[in-house]
Structure 1
């Protein structure tokens, strides 16, 4: 994976179903074996095609890895965007609604197991992967998802549902993710180690309450305060 220029090339044209089958197979191989132990031949065997067929779409392992990473990351980012749209467009009861959103935000870990297995491999091999790979991954998925969350939080602040200072929506989004999601990701190793539903819900509930201690408007007292 030598040059940045190589990272922006796209797969060659061909039958869409064949390219998708190769991409799915590559994702499984890279997620299972990692970057260093995988090769084009292993992907071809997984897909049930010749290695030359794989190279028709992706000129080498580098392009195959990056293509699969971008496609997989974009799918997860789109899922997170849809979750934010579904849960944050209308807030009727602040704390329960944010808890429900926090729970839904975790669902891609179970819905995209191969992607998060690939993320674990990237984390394990970060010392041998060039920095540009990490940048491409972050720019394709985590950063757009955070920006989308920030957009919703900014709108909620403008509506008076939250109290976020101008220009701080991205910081608020980062704090929400840190308080509700990061601990679960770390404790489960991106979905490898099971965590009980009750434990997940308690972690997110505590995280949302910590978040609201920072961003709850003064005219919206917490349920405990009004009890």
Structure 2
């Protein structure tokens, strides 16, 4: 099984639905939204096509929306757990070395591509087929995963700013997006969203450079000396 979020059926949901979601995640990640067929997904899940439509009467668009929300929830929760572990000053231990902790967070976020390969395969397909992805599906995915992570990262960065460790220039969410783009975002583009991973030393160098660039932009400026005091 390729993703850790597919091992245990959720209570209260039929096992068949979990099998369908697991299979659909694999098929959409492999074949893309346009080419994926409901018959293929049913066969992969070991259910009939009729059973598939009974659970998802809206067809492929409804199934894809459900799968992206289901998969994004697991990835989002993993990202937030790492954010709180490495960076949240409201949860002990408080950050001692901000550059080190930002590097650890960015590297850990990047490592999730190996833990959730089917999810990030679907993300690659979304980028490749964006003109064919229903708008509501794209928005549901963004709201469930990336936007939630951005908002919580902005909250954590604001808490660090309150301690005098960062200057967010009045826009916490933009600061959060800049951090992601400079670190995991650059790696995502260079590796085609984890399709062609880079050697660890190269990935580490990119992350470290991104974090240092982020800190140069968002570290508070030192207080200016008082001219009157300096002349005395």
Pair in the same fold by TM > 0.5? yes
Offset at residue 168 of structure 1 (A): 1.4
Report whether the alignment pairs 1:208 with 2:206.
Answer: no
Match of 1:11 in 2: none
Counting only pairs closer than 5 Å after superposition, residues 62-211 of structure 1 correspond to structure 2 as: 62-89=61-88, 90-165=94-169, 167-211=170-214
Counterpart position of 1:47: 45
Which residue in 1 is equivalent to 2:8? none
Larger CA Rg, structure 1 vs 2? 2
Extract unaligned runs of 5+ from structure 2.
Answer: 1-11, 89-93, 224-232
Kindly report structure 1 stretches of 4+ aligned residues shifted beyond 6 Å: none
By how many angstroms is 1:219 displaced?
A: 5.3
TM superposition shift of 1:133: 2.5
How far the C-alpha of 1:198 sits from its partner, in A, is 0.6
Structure-2-length-normalised TM-score: 0.84
Secondary structure of 2:198's aligned partner? coil
What's the secondary structure of 1:182's corresponding residue? helix
The gaps in structure 1 that reach 5 residues or longer are 1-13, 221-227
112-121 or 89-98, which deviates more: 89-98
Shift of 1:186: 0.5
Q: State the Cα RMSD in Å.
A: 1.8
Task: Give the aligned length.
Answer: 207
Q: 8 Å contact 2:64–2:137 — kept in the other structure?
A: no
Could you report, residue by residue, the CA deviation over 1:58-110 in whole angstroms, capped at 9, with x for unpaired residues? 11222111111111112111111111011112210121111111111212211
Q: Distance in 1 between matches of 2:77 and 2:215?
A: 26
